[in-house]
A and B are shown apart, each in its own frame.
Chain A
Amino acid sequence: MMNGEKITGAEIVLKALQDQGVEVIFGYPGGAVLPIYDEIFRQENRIKHVLVRHEQGAAHAAEGYARSTGKPGVVLVTSGPGATNAVTGITDALMDSIPMVVLTGQVPTKLIGSDAFQEADTVGITRSCTKHNWLVKDVNDLARVLHEAFYVATKGRPGPVVVDIPKDVQFALGNYVGPGNVAHRSYKPRVKGDLERIRQAVDLIATARKPIFYTGGGVINSGPAASQLLREFARLTGFPVTSTLMGLGAFPADDPQWLGMLGMHGTWEANHAMHDCDVMICIGARFDDRVTGRLDAFSPHSKKIHIDIDPSSINKNVRADVAVIGDVAHVLEDMLRVWKSKAARPDKEALAAWWEQIRTWRGRDCLAYKNSEELIKPQYAIERLYALTKDLDTYITTEVGQHQMWAAQFYRFQSPNRWMTSGGLGTMGYGLPAALGVQMAHPGSLVIDIAGEASVLMTMQELSTAVQYDLPIKIFILNNEYMGMVRQWQELLHGGRYSHSYTASLPDFVKLAEAYGAVGLRASKPAELDDAIREMIGVKRPVLFDCRIDKTENCFPMIPSGEAHNNMILADLGAQTVSAAGKTLV
């Protein structure tokens, strides 16, 4: 393009995406984005486009792509229902801090506000579920706004953004500007932590007698360097490490210092260590209610260090004694330098006693379950899946519910960006489309969606997308015919009145797979499981795996709502009463 030559808004969109290094768009066409689709047609696959079957699928696929690569996911949908269908995925990305750029078509500027066909107030609807959004009314603002959108989505705490582009703006001629040096007028997040605070944190860590690292999704979002630095810091200090659901993989699950996940379905040892610790080092986690349990009984005797890139996370739920605002990798790097220069050494004897205590908790063997010769136990299924895939280049996504928690407990993640799950929003239907996005980014890898039969039916149509693009994702359904987590809560909290948590008339998943042109497999007995999993791995096509499990198995340990960390239910303790206050909590 000659300097100063005007091009159409649609051309500007494609050029901006290319200049931002976008490789793939997940989208669905419609009236208000036809000019952009015309450009996609003309640019002949320089940017790949994946046609999903529902716009929610596009957003989740973009999340999977982003979470597994660290790059922003890109979504393109039409106005009205295209935008509103994407809202669940956008909200999911906001809750889990996933960088995502969503381009929505809009009715022509002259029709905005007239209740035109397929008009929705997209910036109004998405204002509260995006990090920021824009309605571009002038084609000459388009390039700048698009570059700004990528900047906002990826800098600071990542999140989704929406750029709403009216159809006439896509046709209009305007000037293109390149990404250049984006110096945003007002949004300049801080990445380096305050050194004085870091020194205070190091001093506190050095005095710890019963310390714990409590790590979260921020370590993953910060990039692979952050995971490396966390491992180095953990090795240097010898402290135990636990993680939130979102942080799994940042610290290797095979490491002896690993305590397992914490929180509502976390391990006995992780939750007890959180409760009894004297210094808590929270890195890139946000004291979510699924982690803290009853707030006024949360880790009552500890000093808390909180590292977070988002100042609004500090003191939101739990007061921090030392708060360091900054990017995890930057802060950990400085922290390690200060630690080494001070030659700080924690009290060896105290630490040995602490580990002795942790060994006692570990001895409780909280994830133990009673295996069966007749029925496939869900825990056993995940254990076998892990055993047969751990030496392969594997990525795991999940839906939401019991299967998700069993996956978090029994699939042992060793490295970051290998685990894609809907943590904050808890979106059933996330895992299948997310797996598409992961597979697009990693064509040669093994991508498995550990699913429940209820969740996966919410976005089952995306199996058609997998077949169209030869994406050999494996959908491993733990099929118990129940919305398992709902059923579990009804058993424990509502007197076993299973109100609408059983799905009658489930499809035959093997036939369903075949109808889509995918491969259907089934295992109903423990003895069949290994061979079936091997067959699934061996098939280079999309697979729907119907793993028939014990229908009434519950997921333990469990901290009942409204209870403290040291008040967990274990499988062998059976149900216990839950307070009336706890019952009202989610």
Chain B
Amino acid sequence: MSYDPVIQQAEIIRTHTIAVLVDNEAGVLARVIGLFSARGYNIESLTVAEVDAREHTSRITIVTSGTAQVIEQIKAQLDRLVPVHRVVDLTTETEPLEREMALIKVKGGGEKRVEALRIAEAFRARVVDTTLNSFVFELTGSPSKINTYIELMRPLGLIDVSRTGIAAISRGPEAL
């Protein structure tokens, strides 16, 4: 057996954040999602919103994982969809800027309620809804920061979470 460093490297699974600029037309999201399910690729997060109303273009941000070969295939497959303008892998040598927003509902009173509020302050989470026995916090940050916050809220009465998924952009002066 010969040792092939290329193959060895190809087996490493990495997480990539991919930005896809598409025509904002009916069915475009179904095409992207259908491609991932038909070819057995992973979707860890997917967000979409119109980014240019005049040009009718939307930006889809997909977090996926795979070997280098799989990531290359995903990009090529996305790029060949007809309404796709551009596909950019934001995960290069430097990690892209990634932010996510979460709405987190915590129910309870007494010491736990005070503690939840204290932690919220430390995380710079905003209170966007209050009753006498509940809070809704709004928190923006990296996915890992939100994960940590959710774990901290769990013993303090966490009952509901809604997350936006990841919005990402590259660092530096270059556009997509």
Contacts and interface: CB of A to CB of B under 8 A. Distances in A.
Contacts of B77: 312
| 10 A-B pairs with least C-beta separation | A312-B76, A132-B82, A186-B85, A311-B76, A187-B82, A312-B77, A312-B80, A128-B38, A128-B34, A186-B83
Interface string A298-319: 0000000000001110111001
B23 interface: yes
B31 interface: yes
B42 interface: no
A511 interface: no
Nearest to A185: B23
Contacts of B76: 311-312, 314, 316
Contact of B79 (A127, A128, A131, A311): A311
Interface in B81-98: 81-85
Interface string A181-202: 0001111000000000000000
Interface residues of B, number: 21
Nearest to A156: B80
Interface string B55-99: 000000000000001001100110111111100000000000000
A135 interface: yes
B101 to A, nearest CB: 29
Contacts of B30: 124, 127
A152 interface: yes
B88 to A, nearest CB: 14
Interface in A118-162: 123-124, 127-128, 131-133, 135, 152, 156-157
* Candidate in A123, A186, A315 with the most chain B CB atoms within 10 angstroms: A186
B73 A316 contact: yes
A212 B144 CA distance: 52
Nearest to B68: A315
Given A186-B82, A311-B76, A319-B6, A135 B26 contact: yes
Contacts of A157: 80
B40 interface: no
Contacts of A187: 82
Contacts of B84: 186
Chain A binding surface SS class:
loop
Contacts of A128: 34, 38
Contacts, number: 45
A316 B82 CA distance: 20
Nearest to B84: A186
B76 to A, nearest CB: 4
A186 B82 CA distance: 7
B110 interface: no
B80 A311 contact: yes
Interface of B: 6, 22-23, 26-27, 30-31, 34, 38, 69, 72-73, 76-77, 79-85
Contacts of B85: 185-186
Contacts of A156: 80
B27 to A, nearest CB: 6
A131 B82 contact: yes
A269 to B, nearest CB: 27
Contacts of A127: 27, 30-31, 34
A135 B25 CA distance: 11
Nearest to A189: B80
Nearest to B69: A315
Contacts of A152: 82
A319 B81 CA distance: 23
Contacts of B38: 128
Interface in A348-389: none
A449 B84 CA distance: 40
A322 B11 CA distance: 21
B59 to A, nearest CB: 14
A113 to B, nearest CB: 13
A135 B84 CA distance: 18
A146 B6 CA distance: 46
A260 B26 CA distance: 47
Nearest to A135: B26
B27 A123 contact: yes
Interface in A245-272: none
Nearest to B37: A128
Contacts of A133: 27
A314 B69 CA distance: 10
B73 A315 contact: yes
Contacts of A123: 27
Contacts of A319: 6, 69
